[in-house]
Amino acid sequence: MNAIDSYLTPDGRTIGAPVMEMKNITLRFGGVVAIKDISFDIREGEIRAIIGPNGAGKSSMLNVMNGFYHPQEGEVHFRGEKRGPMRPHQIAHQGIARTFQNIALFKGMSTLDNIMTGRLTHMKTGMLSQIKWWGAAQREETANRELVEKIIDFLEIQTIRKTPVGRLPYGLQKRVELGRALAAEPKLLLLDEPMAGMNVEEKEDMSRFILDVNDEFGTTIALIEHDMGVVMDIADRVVVMDYGKKIGDGTPEEVRTNQDVIDAYLGVAHD
Amino acid sequence: MSANFYFGVEVFLNGLMAGVMYSLVALGFVLIFKASGIFNYAQGVMALFAALTLVGFQNGQIPFAHLINAIFGTDLHHFGWHMPAFLAILCALGVMILFAFLVERYILKHLVNQEPIILFMATIGLAYFMEGFGDLMWGSDIKKLDVGIPQGGNIWLEENTAFLGGEDFYGFYLDNLDIWATVLAAILVTSLVLFSQYTKTGRALRAVADDHQAALSVGISLRSIWVIVWSIAGFVALVAGIMWGSKSGVQFSLSLIALKALPVLMLGGFTSIPGAIIGGLIIGVGEKMFEFLIGAPFLGGATENWFAYMLALLFLVFRPQGLFGEKIIERV
Amino acid sequence: MIYREAGDFKTSYAKDQQTFPIAFDRWGYFITLAFAFLVVPFIINDYWINAVVLPFLIYAIAAIGLNILTGYCGQVSLGSGGFMAVGAYAAYKLMTGFPDLNIVFVIFLSGGVTALVGMLFGLPSLRIKGFYLAVATLAAQFFLVWLFNKVPWFYNYSASGQISAPERSIFGYAVTGANALPAVSYLFCLCFVVILAWAARNLTRGANGRKWMAIRDMDIAAEIIGVNPLKTKLTAFGVSSFYIGIAGAMLFAVYLGAAEVGEAFGISKSFLILFMVIIGGLGSIFGSFAGAAFMVLMPVLLKNVMVGQLGWPTDMAAHFEFVIVGGLIVLFLIVEPHGLAQLWRLAKEKLRLWPFPH
């Protein structure tokens, strides 16, 4: 890691080499261009935000990052290696976890089981020892349970451990979903509008959790968010998208003063 | 041309006719699926039930006669009158409308917003219920259905095509009933399309099919739409029941034949009326030709039992959206 | 106040994960098992064995199998009858082809064969979902029944087209064939049921079960968190068919003794198993037992009351059965989609607090 590859944040954390690099990504659905020739990187330990008006292609970008969509052009590099044709579940095994804009929890399962599903990429016992249960399978289950219990403590959701997630209020579901992503101990965590639909208090809680995750576990985070205030507060660097194109990239301060960004948000007519 | 070739053509034509029958049942599925997102497994049993009711009215059977006899020790059978076919059809239609109303009132209302697969299983339950209920009401013996549609081979066609082949070819054999079914199906489809395009109710139906929430928000009553749709499906079932019933008698196997409408739909797509028709024709022709060319000579016959399902299965693996569906873009 | 969990503290995660977390349940389970093994064989008579107990045990295995596929992994199958036929015919071919092979192996191998067939028909599940898949499994049902009907090799070219089980025994006691004692058949089935239910419980409680349930609840999200959809669905099809195949083999070899495919393993069998699962409770091993018991007992009960007591004709009782089963399916789906198992759970919740209202 050479010196040019890292930078220091205002609050004194060292940001390292790129974890993920998006190079000239273009994504089309039939004739519709959702993402047009976008490049940026996400560095070790940073909180990277992607912002932009509705329909700018942010969620599509996240879907490209975790392999749900395959871009027609461009390359995705993860931890120094170019990504070949892969299925989303293989990418999850590489260490990318995410949450969803519209909560995608497993409704028939309890909070605990939902977060335990996050550990699936780490659980390796075969079917025969599962059938036997006593021995390897039980040991693995218990070991992973301990880690999940730490996450449950961290997110302060001990009391809803055994509640079916379908019964939980919206804010708590979002938290459980974050827990499931954290349980995977990801190298890169993608958050799709983690604060959408929350009130100020819930947003503050969620912001705190995101900062703590980054701080305590050193997790690299990329997030999409609408609330500019929140983004400016927690993000280290920001990518701004509009109509599938990148119109700004830099620290919150730089982005805030970027004329293109101001135009996009205040709605200057496009030619 | 050899007689075998002409025989093949005849099989093809008969396949088309059988396909029309499948299409008729499939049409009922599509109507309900479009309007309520319900995959109505009971459509076949509805056809059976409608046919049973029709025969019952025609012959003046007393409903639940067996049950009443068993409980009270009486010996009831018939009212002793014969209803004209037309009147009986109207009465049977009335029963199907009543049935639609009851289904909405006691089942659909309680299952709003459930997952499609739950609704599907509910209609399996409904099918079982109706089957038992129909048998209790009208008895389970095989009944002859005759509403005056001409039956038997079409002699005109046979005589006028005999010259095509050699000595051992006697002309194409097509059943009059099948020809009638084709004509009726064409009329039915045309009138359904006109109904949905040019009437206010039709427009409401299409709105509901497109988006339940949006339809609700502009003041369309979902519940009355469902009653209407199930009534129409009941009517289609009645027509299908008359056709199938005239052909092979009103009996339990009617509902199994109707099962064939399912692969038809998988081919044609669940939401497309032309899809249902064309899918039905493909299945009808396909299974008859397969049996003729491969099944009977090489596989021991009776391949019609599974051909339609296998075709649909293989087809779906390569084109999950069906013939006429649009490519599905998955979102998260 | 007897049924309670207060004071029953869990001091380790392993204890928290056990099958019966409440001591009272645990004891109830052991007592039931002991009763089934030590008492029932001595008091049971032929009528009960043949009308109720054997079908219950065998269908319970099939219901567990379908429940794994439908209740846990969310893939509805209407092909159970066809898969049971695979188990039965595999057992027949193994028994007649390898006369020295122990019947226990025969039955497990039949399950294995069925698992392979099930996985083959499960392959399309990657591309097609929901009721599309349900209809696609009808292809398995109709094709398999046709196959066993049309290819004489499967029934050893017998003139009747039937298959019949030769006598096989364990420890000198006949299990199949005409000389099998009811108590022996019963114990034989019971052993299979206990082992298979225990295995199913273990498969569903841990990582494996969570993969299935993740696919069931939201397949796209499951794939994104790292669940391989094809592998997971195929294991579900495989394990499920293994159970259903074993049930088919036992239904043929131990219970029926002789079978004709269309009659014994037709589409109505597929629906019977599906109904057991729905009424018993989707996604519950206990529910599979409850559903099997219900669907086996109800016709017997109806027949006894209507035909035996009221003197009605037999076919009317059969029609009533259709009406009642159909009505119950709809009722359960409306009121309690989780079936008898959930009702049992709710009853226990109440009992936990009894006699206090809260």
Q: Please give the CATH topology (third level) of the domain spanning A3-95+186-266.
A: Rossmann fold (3.40.50)
DSSP-derived 3-state class of residue A224: strand
Confidence of residue A100 (pLDDT cuts 50, 70, 90): very high
Tokens (6 digits) for C308 = 């035996």
Residues of chain A with CATH 3.40.50.300: 3-95+186-266
Highest mean pLDDT among A131-135, C31-35, C82-86: C82-86
Q: What mean pLDDT comes out for the span C87-99?
A: 95
Residue A125 with chain C: CB contacts under 8 Å = 207
Asked if the C-beta of C298 comes within 8 angstroms of chain B's C-beta atoms, the answer is no
**Cβ pair C47, C33 in contact under 8 A:** no
Q: Give me the residue label for tokens 């509705």.
A: A54
> Which domain range does residue C197 map to?
43-264
Q: Dump pLDDT digits (tens) for A166-204.
A: 899 998 999 999 999 999 999 999 999 998 888 888 899
Residue of C nearest to A120 (CA): C207
Residues above pLDDT 90, as percent of chain B: 8
End-to-end Cα, chain B, rounded Å: 59
Highest mean pLDDT among A18-22, B79-83, B241-245, C2-6: A18-22
Asked if the C-beta of C330 comes within 8 angstroms of chain B's C-beta atoms, the answer is yes
Whether C249 maps to a domain, the answer reads yes
pLDDT at C6: 63
pLDDT at A268: 65
pLDDT at C268 over 60: yes
pLDDT at B330: 65
Q: Dump pLDDT digits (tens) for C105-154.
A: 999 999 999 999 999 999 888 888 777 888 888 889 999 999 999 899 99
What is the DSSP-derived secondary structure letter of residue C39? I
Cα distance between residue B265 and residue B285, in whole Å: 15
Contact C130 B266 (CB under 8 A): no
Cα distance between residue B276 and residue B267, in whole Å: 8
Tokens (6 digits) for C272 = 């019977």
pLDDT at C181: 85
Whether C122 maps to a domain, the answer reads yes
Residue B111 with chain C: CB contacts under 8 Å = 333-334
Q: Dump pLDDT digits (tens) for C42-54.
A: 888 888 888 899 9
- Nearest-neighbour CA in chain A from B314: distance (Å): 23
Q: Which has more confidence, A20 or B222?
A: A20
Residues above pLDDT 90, as percent of chain C: 54
Confidence of residue A2 (pLDDT cuts 50, 70, 90): very low
pLDDT at C222: 95
Lowest average pLDDT, out of B13-27, B90-104, C1-15, goes to C1-15
Mean of all residue pLDDT scores within chain B: 81
Asked if the C-beta of B84 comes within 8 angstroms of chain C's C-beta atoms, the answer is no
Going from N- to C-terminal start, the domains of chain B cover 3-318
pLDDT at C7: 65
**CB-count burial class (<10 Å; 0-12, 13-18, 19+) for A107:** middle
Lowest average pLDDT, out of A81-90, A223-232, B143-152, B215-224, goes to B143-152
Looking at the partner chain, which of C202, C214, C228 has a beta carbon nearest the beta carbon of A106? C214
**Cβ pair B49, B313 in contact under 8 A:** no
Q: Give me the residue label for tokens 């499931």.
A: A180
Q: Dump pLDDT digits (tens) for C146-202.
A: 999 989 999 999 888 899 999 898 888 888 888 888 889 999 999 999 999 999 999
Neighbours of chain B (3+ CB pairs under 8 A): A, C
Whether C328 maps to a domain, the answer reads no
**167-196 in chain C: CB under 8 A from chain B:** none
Whether C223 maps to a domain, the answer reads yes
Looking at the partner chain, which of C14, C17, C217 has a beta carbon nearest the beta carbon of A109? C217
Looking at the partner chain, which of C123, C135, C221 has a beta carbon nearest the beta carbon of B263? C135
Domain count of the fold of chain C:
1
**CB-count burial class (<10 Å; 0-12, 13-18, 19+) for A163:** middle
Which of A107, A116, A134, A138 to mutate: most C Cβ within 10 Å?
A138
Contact B320 C128 (CB under 8 A): yes
Residue B329 with chain A: CB contacts under 8 Å = 29
Confidence of residue C4 (pLDDT cuts 50, 70, 90): low
Class of B3-318 in CATH: mainly alpha
DSSP-derived 3-state class of residue A157: coil
